[in-house]
Amino acid sequence: NHFHYSFWKYILLVVLALFGWNLIFTTTRYRPPESAKVEFFAEGAMAENPTLDALVARIHRDVMPEMEEVTATTVTFDDAYGDMQLTVWVSAGQGDVYLIAKSRFLNIAANDGSLDLGPYIASGALDVSGIDLAAATLQRADGAKVMGVPADNLTALAEYGLPNEGMVLCVLANSGNDAYAVKFLNALVADLRGEAAVAP
């Protein structure tokens, strides 16, 4: 009689135990601090992108092995909520390096959401020689600011299932890891230009 009428209590107990364990694990598991990880968000159509994952893994291994985590995520922004979603991510400092459409980039850069790359280019930390930066340069009261790297000539993006025409690479201003975000961007641009910054 007990099991006949009370079996649901045992099922409920098991479900609650599993839910509680999952909740505790999710909230207490270790997460690398912002200063120890680099996240690359790329606008594209592929939900899973093993080729891009392999590239990012090589950059992690060969260029910045001291980072705890270097990841790539391909995202799709729909027409209705895409800009809103991106604004939330930028405001929250989610991600470090972005590949996004020029219209979205200009919206971010106009609101100081992207990092001024000029000092890094001047110091040699970011090599963009031969790339026309005009499309990603904004005129400000204190002079021209290079807020991103146009990807129109980086045709090798197609090898990673990503578009290049009308796209811009940029670093978020509040990513929390500027130096390594720029280092990642430099390695990424070098690979896309067929240079030897990333070992095969």
d(Cα 190, Cα 195) in Å, to the nearest integer?
Answer: 5
Q: pTM to 2 decimals?
A: 0.81
Handedness of CA 109, 114, 119, 124 (dihedral sign): negative
Report the share of the chain in percent with pLDDT over 90: 56
Determine the average pLDDT of the residues in 88-111: 91
Neighbours of 93 (CB within 10 A): 15
| CB-CB contact of 189 with 127 (8 Å) | yes
Taking 90 as the threshold, does the pLDDT of residue 6 lie above it?
Answer: no
Give the tokens for residue 96. Answer: 């470090």
pLDDT digits (tens, 9 = 90+) for 51-87: 999 999 999 999 999 999 999 999 888 776 778 888 8
From 13-27, 64-78, 111-125, 143-157, the region with the lowest mean pLDDT: 13-27
AA identity, residue 47: A
Q: What is the DSSP string of 125-162?
A: SS--TT---GGGEEEETTEEEE--EE-TT-GGGGGGT-
Q: What is the DSSP string of the chain?
A: -HHHHHHHHHHHHHHHHHHHHHHHHHHHS----GGGEEEEEEE-S-S--HHHHHHHHHHHHHT-TTSSEEEEEEE---TTTHHHHHHHHHHHT--SEEEEEHHHHHHHHHTT-B---HHHHHHTSS--TT---GGGEEEETTEEEE--EE-TT-GGGGGGT---TTEEEEEBTT-S-HHHHHHHHHHHHHHHTT-TTS--
Check residue 50 and give its pLDDT: 87
pLDDT band at 106 (very low <50, low <70, confident <90, very high): very high
